[in-house]
Amino acid sequence: MVTLYDAPADALLEALAEELADRIEEPDWAAVAKSGQGREFPPEQEDFWYVRAASVLRRVAIDGPVGVDRLSTHYGSPKGGSTRYQVAPNHRSDGSRKVVRTVLQQLEEAGLVERPPNDEGRVVSSEGRKLLDTTAGEVLESLDRPELERYV
């Protein structure tokens, strides 16, 4: 059986973003919102929302139970520091909590993510795990790599 760990992450996220485009919809404000405090401009990708949703779903499956704070830390970036004279080290800045929170809420409404009864964060539901694993299987079949034939 193929799991999400068997497929390359970039190919899995691309295929999963196409699957999620039918299940969730991008908010109106997402086109003009920055993806974090350390960013200067909004993302330029057309399908940024769906790729981020796919990434959040994969990250919840790997790290779960996980909350908004840990996920925003994961999507953070380097910020600040002097670039001209290099006298101060770069600082970190977290990713946008609004983006992560909204994506998690949409995934929860779609039935792919759920909250455990002890309220530790969010975990992937059985439907979400099934979507991840079937998409990973399709990605592995579409790749033309001889070393991956043992998984199929």
**Cα(4)–Cα(81) distance, rounded to whole angstroms?**
37
Kindly list the distances between the CA atom of residue 77 and the CA atoms of 31, 80, 91, 114, in Å, as whole numbers in the listed order: 20, 10, 9, 27
**Cα(125)–Cα(87) distance, rounded to whole angstroms?**
47
**Predicted TM-score of the model (pTM):** 0.81
Domain ranges of the chain: 12-24+46-148
pLDDT tens column, 66-125: 988 888 888 877 775 545 566 667 677 888 788 888 998 999 998 999 998 887 888 999
Residue 147 above 70 pLDDT?
Answer: no
pLDDT for residue 47: 83
Residue 27 above 70 pLDDT?
Answer: yes
Question: What kind of architecture, by CATH, is found in domain 12-24+46-148?
Answer: Orthogonal Bundle (1.10)
